[in-house]
């Protein structure tokens, strides 16, 4: 059990789901503190039937705190996380600021839970698109190795925040009414449209989102020999990222072996019956903590080639669920120390 748990960004979209996941997963604590910006300080939030007043985030907020789960922008994380670590807390950070720091483990509990033991006060949770892909690839990697991954993502607007969801709804209605609105959050109007850019230009024509998928996957699996090529696309979906994944393993696997690996993989649910029109779709997968896999096929021309479709709620497993799972790993460590 964690003595004092703090949630930073508790009133934000992901922070609210973190609180829901704490209850759903049964993360045990003695005291829960909620921290947010001065705009949200003073609000009362109900967690597991108890009303808790949100406190303003400040340097002195972390006295006596054991574990922090933080859902904030990079610039906020960069400022406050050193305060928390200095006060003796362990921080589970959902921002991207520390992910590629070699001193900071990047954790997906179904994939590399053991790395949590190597933290120095900070543990990062990966990018949402990386998380679902790696959860799905892990059983294939363990069984037959991985040489190559080609992934195309179809990412929901909720990855850009609550205002982005509202922009999709407003712009879609306006376009249907023949009065299109200009984009505010996205580079182009997202209504009834696809935008093949998520993030900024990074290198050689790839975006920052695409390079995150490459670098974070290498770090999580501890294997930078895997050739990874990503294309990330924003689509007019409210919640739930979808990915078309093609990979080549080191050793061939039969189609039934592949399906059996997915069936038995932690955190993965297989929905794969094309004849019955059964496969994962983002609307049906929203609000679930799992990673869904379907449309599983063997490459017709390569004995080690595998194609599949992967869907997950980007606000759940892609963010809040994963962070709380890491919190449970820490709680287990504390329990082992006390025993």
pLDDT of residue 108: 98
pLDDT of residue 333: 84
Six token digits for residue 322: 């994963």
CA atoms within 13 A on the CB side of 69: 34
Is 19 within 8 Å of 46 (Cβ atoms)? no
Q: Domain segments of the chain: what residues?
A: 2-125+319-338, 130-313
In the chain, which stretches have pLDDT less than 70?
Answer: 336-339
- Name 307's bridge partners: 246, 297
Long-range contacts of 108-115 (CB under 8 A, 24+ apart): 108/134, 108/135, 108/220, 108/322, 109/322, 109/325, 109/326, 109/328, 109/329, 110/135, 110/138, 110/265, 110/266, 110/267, 111/135, 111/138, 111/220, 111/221, 112/220, 112/221, 112/222, 113/329
Six token digits for residue 84: 């928390």
Is 163 within 8 Å of 143 (Cβ atoms)? no
pLDDT of residue 337: 61
Which option is the CATH number for 130-313: 3.30.360.10, 3.40.630.30, 3.40.50.2300, 3.30.40.230? 3.30.360.10
Task: Report CA-CA distances (Å) from 196 to 43, 212, 230.
Answer: 39, 16, 11
Q: How far apart are CA 186 and CA 204, in angstroms?
A: 22
- Name 148's bridge partners: 227, 248
Q: How far apart are CA 41 and CA 295, in angstroms?
A: 46
- Edge-first strand order for the sheet with 2-8 is 55-56, 29-36, 2-8, 67-70, 90-93, 122-124
Fold of 2-125+319-338: Rossmann fold (3.40.50)
Q: How far apart are CA 201 and CA 192, in angstroms?
A: 24
pTM of the full structure = 0.95
| 195 secondary structure, DSSP code | B
Catalytic residues: 128, 241
Q: Is the dihedral of CA 23, 26, 27, 33 positive or negative?
A: positive
Is 211 within 8 Å of 197 (Cβ atoms)? no
pLDDT of residue 189: 97
Pseudo-torsion of CA 123, 128, 129, 134, nearest 10°? Answer: 50
pLDDT of residue 119: 96
Is 295 within 8 Å of 224 (Cβ atoms)? no
pLDDT of residue 334: 75
What region does 52 belong to: left with phi over 0, alpha with psi -120 to 50, or beta?
Answer: beta
Q: Is 156 helix (H, G, I), strand (E, B) or coil?
A: coil
């Amino acid at each position: 059990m964690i003595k004092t748990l703090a949630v930073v960004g508790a009133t934000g979209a992901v922070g609210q789901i973190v609180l829901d996941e704490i209850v759903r997963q049964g993360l045990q604590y003695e005291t829960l503190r909620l921290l947010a910006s001065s705009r949200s300080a003073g609000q009362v939030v109900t967690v597991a039937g108890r009303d808790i007043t949100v406190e303003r985030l400040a340097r002195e907020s972390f006295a006596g705190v054991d574990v922090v789960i933080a859902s904030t922008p990079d610039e906020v994380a960069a400022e406050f996380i050193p305060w928390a670590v200095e006060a003796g807390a362990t921080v589970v950070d959902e921002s991207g600021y520390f992910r590629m720091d070699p001193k900071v483990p990047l954790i997906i509990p179904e994939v590399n839970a053991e790395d949590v033991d190597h933290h120095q006060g900070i543990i990062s949770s990966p990018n949402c698109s990386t998380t679902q892909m790696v959860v799905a690839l892990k059983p294939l990697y363990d069984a037959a190795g991985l040489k190559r991954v080609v992934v195309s993502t179809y990412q929901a607007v909720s990855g850009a925040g609550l205002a982005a969801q509202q922009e999709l709804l407003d712009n879609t209605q306006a376009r249907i009414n023949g009065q299109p609105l200009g984009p505010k959050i996205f580079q182009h109007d997202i209504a009834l449209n696809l935008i093949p850019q998520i993030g900024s230009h990074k290198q050689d024509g790839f975006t920052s989102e695409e390079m995150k998928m490459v670098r974070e996957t290498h770090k999580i699996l501890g294997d930078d020999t895997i050739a990874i090529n990503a294309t990330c696309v924003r689509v007019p979906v409210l919640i739930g990222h979808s990915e078309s994944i093609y990979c080549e393993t080191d050793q061939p696997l039969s189609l039934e072996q592949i399906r059996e690996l997915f069936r038995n993989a932690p955190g993965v649910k297989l929905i794969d019956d094309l004849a019955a029109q059964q496969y994962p779709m983002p609307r049906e997968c929203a609000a679930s903590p799992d990673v869904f896999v379907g449309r599983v096929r063997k490459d017709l021309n390569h004995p080690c080639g595998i194609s599949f479709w992967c869907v997950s709620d980007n606000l759940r497993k892609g963010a809040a669920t994963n962070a709380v799972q890491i919190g449970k790993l820490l709680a287990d460590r504390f329990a082992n120390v006390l025993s």
